[in-house]
Structure 1
Amino acid sequence: MATQSSERTPAHGRTPVQLLRRAALVVVVAILAVEAWYVAPEVRHYWQATKNVRWLWVGACVLAAAVSMESFSQVQRTLFASAGVRVASWRSAAEIYAANSISCSLPAGQVLATTFAYRQTRRWGATPIIASWQIVMSGLIKGAGLALIGFVGAFLAGVKTTPFSLIFMVGGFLAFLVLAQFIASRPDDINALSSKAVALVNRLRKRPPEEGLARWQQLLGQTQAVRLSRMDGLKAFAWSMTNWTSDIACLAFACYATDAHPSLPGLLTAYWLGKTAAVAVPLLPGGLGVVEVVLVPALTGSGVPSGAAFSAVVIYRLVSFLLVTAIGWVIFFLLFRKSDPIHPKNRDEFDEERFEAQQPPR
């Protein structure tokens, strides 16, 4: 047994992934330390000159962060409402806060947060297809919004750029929307086409013609429950843009709290670079260290003094990352530590197997 355990883990009980994360963390800390040492004299001079942060603007940061989180929960509620699933506003907001904290705090947090969101939405009565559709649609809408922000920032800054990423994200969102509307509006045609496709696949596999057809029609019926109109799609996209612009406002208010006034193109570009960096380096929780390293020079390049930029980024991250994450964990332990069972009307085969396995023996 001792030999097997020693083969599974290297010396000191640490896996290569853990060692890599520790090494990356050391590098990030070193970069932050060098940056702090470099800007420390200017930061000290800045604090002596201004004496204090403008706390009214810090309060505005907190309000903007709250609006940003509430806006994203409205995206979720709009999508679910189009599929006939009604969710209370407080339930949706609580799930968004908790999932955000899981995503920002834990290793493989994005995967765990997606799983958590899926299970919670199933408990609200969403079918497996509707729950998965909502997660995919939210991601497409959010990605399209971020691409639009980056494009607008580059355009206002006078940078020559190709709108391929914007076209790709918006095109994907529209294609997904049109496909959902097509399936919902032509149930008979889709059923007939799917029956022929299943029969053809079964013939190639040398199986009975109708094998798996009932299950496929069940999934198709769940998809046809979606009634996302153009107005609902625009409403969801508008809420998503409110989510992004509120977070940008949080960064702007953090700058105002330090008496810095970045230009709009510089602010949008810096924000887009920070978010892109956080996505590009998913190993660190919430992009901690990476976002700061990107945001400070980006704001400095837009005309903000380096000391003020450093202080503004600290305020922004304290509010939008640490405070929001802390609130999310409090909500998680208060509301989601013991979750309700999945809605009995919408259990799938996997849920039924788990439900039966959890029953006490008779």
Structure 2
Amino acid sequence: MTAQSETRRRFWWVKWVVGVALCGLLISEAVYLYPRLHESWKNLTEIHWGWVIACVWMQAISMSGYGRIQKRLLRAGGVRVSQLKSVSVVYGSTGMALTLPAGQVFSTTFTYRQIRRWGASPIVASWQLVMSGVVAAAGLAVLSVLGALLAGSEVGPVKLIVTLGAVALLVWAGNYISNHPGTVEGLLRRILHLVNRIRHRPTAEGMDKVDEILNQLESVELGRRDGAWVACWAMVHRLADVACLGAACYAVGADPRLAGLMLAFAAGKAVGTIPLAPGGILYVDATLIYSLTAFAGLPAAQAVAAAFVYRLVSFILVAIVGWIVFAFLFRKPQAEDAAYEKEFEERRAPLVSERRTDTEPETGPA
């Protein structure tokens, strides 16, 4: 029996627990929402279409903002790409992430492949993927802290300063590595020697990979101007999405509190990172409905209708546009695609193999 089969046999009960939890969530949501569905339907039949158009427009601005983040980060690595190409990849990858099982894996692989097509080195492509995720997460953290401050929570400005300082530290660290590769190389050599000694490996093992990474990182330099633009577009990306949620509320006749909107949005996005179902369907909707009621002051019927409009735009419409973009621009495979996908898997594989090596007995894998 292989290690993977053994793991599956040991944790057979997990899928049943998840299934029961999802069933419980569905039943609870149905019990909670059923008495309010009539009122929610009435709100939807009296919808304000001008606000729906604004909702769609704000979502388009949010997606464009993420495209700008990607474009600026690639520019720091010496890769020039147009905004149209960048945002097209954002739509295509988002369509995959929202609709496919394990969509985030397909989405990341697709984005990596396209970035490599544009001429980025493997390390620049990987760096861009990591940094864009970090920047987006930092933007969400800043937004949630701002929402808590506006709501009067005892958060204090310290957490906001810490969050912004962490982002600035990441940018500084990236630039320092790019501008002082010799210093970093010496430090990494000492660390690698120590790790190899502990693991009883040859002293210089792995140093060729470190040299390769450092040489490629010299081409990545996120200057102050690019860094400022990345931060700016990160906030545009998040604030436009909040505005999309707000427009959805106004479309059904609600009058939400700004701080509550920020908190409801942050809660929905946080729950959406749990990979239980494509697009976080059902549990993200339930979170949005509860959060709009608890934080933004919406009656339950309006919260249901607003969440429906918001998800119709940010989930269904974006997924449809993403797959249309993919069908027209990216459906046709190219000769180097298989090599890029294999390369991406190989760049992820060492982490998995290292974990297995550290946990398996010395007799080796089964």
- When normalised by structure 1's length, the TM-score is 0.81
Opposite residue 253 of structure 2, the aligned amino acid is D
Q: Report whether the alignment pairs 1:243 with 2:243.
A: no
Opposite residue 43 of structure 1, the aligned amino acid is S
Distance in 1 of aligned mates of 2:8 and 2:193 = 49
Tell me the residue number matched to 2:27: 30
Q: What do you get for the CA RMSD once the two structures are aligned?
A: 3.3
Residue identity (%): 39
Q: Which whole-Å deviations, capped at 9, do the CAs of 1:80-121 have from their partners, x for residues lacking one?
A: 011100112222111111111221222222233222222221
Tell me the residue number matched to 2:247: 253
Kindly report which structure 2 residues correspond to 1:1-362, keeping only aligned pairs within 5 A, or say none: 23-43=20-40, 46=43, 52-161=46-155, 166=160, 169-191=163-185, 213-279=207-273, 281-301=274-294, 302-342=296-336, 350=343
Q: Report the CA distance shift for 1:315/1:63 in structure 2 as closer, same or farther (over 3 A).
A: same
Q: Would the aligned equivalents of 1:108 and 1:283 in 2 still touch at CA under 8 Å? A: no
Distance in 1 of aligned mates of 2:8 and 2:200 = 46
Residue 162 of structure 1 and its aligned partner are, at CA, apart by 5.9
Opposite residue 81 of structure 2, the aligned amino acid is V
Q: Report the CA distance shift for 1:342/1:122 in structure 2 as closer, same or farther (over 3 A).
A: farther
Q: Number of residues paired by the alignment?
A: 337
Distance in 2 of aligned mates of 1:347 and 1:319 = 33
Q: Would the aligned equivalents of 2:135 and 2:234 in 1 still touch at CA under 8 Å? A: yes
SS at match of 1:261: coil
Distance in 2 of aligned mates of 1:293 and 1:165 = 28
Gaps of 5+ in 2: 1-5, 347-366
Distance in 1 of aligned mates of 2:293 and 2:195 = 59
Q: Would the aligned equivalents of 1:140 and 1:172 in 2 still touch at CA under 8 Å? A: no
Distance in 1 of aligned mates of 2:239 and 2:156 = 22
SS at match of 1:161: coil
Pair member with larger Rg: 1
Residue 287 of structure 1 and its aligned partner are, at CA, apart by 1.5
Q: Would the aligned equivalents of 1:144 and 1:166 in 2 still touch at CA under 8 Å? A: no
Tell me the residue number matched to 2:349: none
Q: Report the CA distance shift for 1:163/1:20 in structure 2 as closer, same or farther (over 3 A).
A: farther
Q: Which whole-Å deviations, capped at 9, do the CAs of 1:179-221 have from their partners, x for residues lacking one?
A: 2211222244445555676677778889887665554323211
Distance in 2 of aligned mates of 1:273 and 1:165 = 18
Distance in 2 of aligned mates of 1:60 and 1:349 = 42
Gaps of 5+ in 1: 1-6, 354-362
- When normalised by structure 2's length, the TM-score is 0.80
SS at match of 2:129: helix
